[in-house]
Every structure is written in C-alpha cells, then in structure tokens.
Amino acid sequence: MIGNSRRYALKASLSAGAIVLLDGLGCQSAEEVDLASVASSPLSRPVFIATWPFGLAACEKSQRTLTQGGSLLDAVEYGINLTELDPKVSSVGVGGLPNADGVVQLDASIMDGQRQRAGSVAALEGFANPISVARRVMESTRHVMLVGQDAAAFAQASGFESQELLTEESRQAWEKWRSNQAGKSIGEKTHDTIALLGVNRDGQVAGGCSTSGLAFKLPGRVGDSPLIGSGMYVDGEVGAAGATGVGENVLRYCGSFLIVEYMRQGMSPTEACISAIRRIATGDRKSPAELSVNFIAINKRGQIGAAGTDREFRCAVVEQQRSLLITPHMVTS
C-alpha cells in the first residue's frame, strides 16, 4: 500500500503481488516506500531499478557487480542472470512457464546507451540465460536480433551450455492448463518479465529485459521484451525504460521508446510512464485496467519513475546504500 514504510526481510518475491520471503539469494532487507518520496529528485548514483519484487535481488547483484569492478553492462547482465536462474520465478528463464506445446521459449534484450548498441534473442529454447546470449549478439555480431533455432545454434556455437528449462512445477502447471483450459485464453496473469535499468556514477545508462513470455502462448509467439523500443529502450543522452505486462499491448506502441522520448521532451520518468499508459489506453479505446501494462523508467541523472495498470505491480530500486520496494503510480482511468 502506498505510504507504508514496512521493512521486509525480502529475499525475492514471486508474481501476483504476493510478497514471498525466500532465503538464499543474498539480498539485504528492503524498505517499502512511496513512489513520491523517492521519485521527485535524482537518487544517488549508481542506481538500478527493476520490475517486480524479485528484481530486488537482481538490482543488488547489479550493484555488487559494479562495486567489484564490473562494467555497467556486466551489472545489467549478471543481475538479470540471477532471476533467469531462479526456478521459483515462473516467468523468466529456468522454471518459466512453457508455450502451448510444453516448450519453454525465452525472449531477451540488452542495450548500451554509451554507443547505442543493442542485442536480442527471441523464441530461444534450451539456454538458461537469454540476456547473455543477447549481449553476445550485440558484442560479437553485426546484427541486433536472432530468433528461434538459429539463435539456439548461435548460443551453442558461442559456448553457452544448453539445458532443460522446464521444471517439474512448470510441467505440472502446463499439464493442468492443458487438461482444464486448452482452447481458452492464455494466462494473462503469468507474465512477470524482468526489466532492469541502470545508471552508473558517471551517468552512463544501460538496460536489459528477459522473459518466458505469456504462459502457454502459441509456439513462436514473440512479445515486447526482445523488441528494441518495446519491452526496453535505452538512450544514452536521456535515460531508459522497461516494461512488464501483456506484450501485445506494449509492442504496438513501442512503449519503452515512447517513454524515453517523453523524458527527452522534459517529462519526469513517472510522468512519462503515465503518459505512455494513457496513450495506449486512448489508442486502444480501453480503460487502463483492461491493458495490463506496467513501466519503469530512469533518467541519466538517476531520477526513477514507475506506473502501471496492474494492482499488484511493484518495482525494486537499489541506490548506493538503500534497497527499496516501490508501489508505482497506478493508472486506473
């Protein structure tokens, strides 16, 4: 609830808004704060912001990576790796819910604001860390995006180890869906993508995004997360934005690019996120509550912002000395 300053011994959290205390991911405790209390002026850089409470462990990993001498891109990649490897997060990496055929297909993208470089993979099967494969695409090819079997072949040739991503829990969820719900709409409430954005001490900006996409999606379906400008966008002169929610509702509006452009025009990160949601709602002639679109943003000065339409949406922020769990601005009408 906005306004609380409860303290959570938060290790990670699963989807659907429930705060779940888990051991073993090495997080410090996090303070739950009002967005208004932290979004009005820049935080002390370096700053990382990520979607969902499970993004807290990722942001803390990012901060540690910088402290230990890693680059900003390392920080983004290794932070997201942590979530990708956590089998309890059922919407990213290992343990991600599969497509309608029972196969886990992953999407990810990464961007470097220093040189406006980007890399992404879509519908990647059998590799636990799609964000790392996306970074390899960015750094070792002249391309931006690889998809499907060819992305997997690239990952294999680049030395990434393949593995089974479907956990027993995810398999059982798929079996249940198949027997009970096949033919009905797909699981809209199981799309808790991690988007993670960072600004270092010098004001350099980078970001990444990783997801298993909508649960039980059509095989080959690609959402917003790997599409540069939709699920995530970075502009080194301005800042970055990232999305979680129903990808189809974000990618038709290049949601993250839109937010960065709003910030370029002078809006604060939160104002930019709210404006993007309103623009999507207006374009779709729907109320925001029907959309399931949620955004985070940061400008290069270290000012953060977030807004969403899902009541359970939360984001995590780690600045120099503080770990924060934030209730974003809810856009309801």
Segment interacting with ligand GLY (CB under 6 A) among 6-14, 148-156, 163-171, 219-227: 219-227
Q: Does 328 bind ligand GLY (CB under 6 A)?
A: no
Closest by CA to 149, choosing from 117, 183, 185, 105, is 105
Helices 72-84 and 55-67 cross at an angle (nearest 10°) of 140
Which is closer to ligand GLY, CB of 213 or CB of 236? 213
Using CB under 6 A, which of 92, 197, 206, 214 touches ligand GLY?
214
Residues paired with 235 in a beta bridge: 239
Cβ neighbors of 121 (< 8 A, separation 6 or more) are 106, 107, 108, 109, 130, 133, 134, 137, 145, 146, 147, 151, 155, 226
Write down the residue that tokens 């393949």 correspond to.
162
Kindly write out the interface string for residues 158-197 of this chain, putting x where it contacts ligand GLY by CB under 6 A and - elsewhere. ---------------------------------x-x----
Q: Does 211 bind ligand GLY (CB under 6 A)?
A: yes
Using CB under 6 A, which of 207, 223, 236, 328 touches ligand GLY?
223
Catalytic residue among 193, 211, 309, 327: 193
For residue 324, the surrounding DSSP H or E stretch is: strand 323-327
Using CB under 6 A, which of 84, 224, 310, 319 touches ligand GLY?
224
Which residues ranging from 80 to 119 are in contact with ligand GLY (CB under 6 A)?
none
Using CB under 6 A, which of 90, 225, 275, 299 touches ligand GLY?
225
For the bound state, the minimum distance from the C-beta of residue 247 to ligand GLY, rounded and expressed in Å, comes to 3
Which residues ranging from 237 to 296 are in contact with ligand GLY (CB under 6 A)?
244-247
In contact, 318 and 60? CB cutoff 8 Å: yes
For the bound state, the minimum distance from the C-beta of residue 175 to ligand GLY, rounded and expressed in Å, comes to 22
Write down the residue that tokens 């649960």 correspond to.
215
- Contacts for 3-6: CB closer than 8 Å, 24+ residues apart: 3/34, 4/32, 5/31, 5/32, 5/33, 6/31, 6/32
Kindly write out the interface string for residues 40-59 of this chain, putting x where it contacts ligand GLY by CB under 6 A and - elsewhere. --------------------
- Alpha-carbon distance of 309 to 294, in angstroms, equals 6
Q: Is 309 a catalytic residue?
A: no
> End-to-end CA distance of the chain, in Å?
19
Active site positions, annotated: 193
Which residues of the chain form contacts with ligand GLY (CB under 6 A)? 191, 193, 211, 213-214, 223-225, 231, 244-247
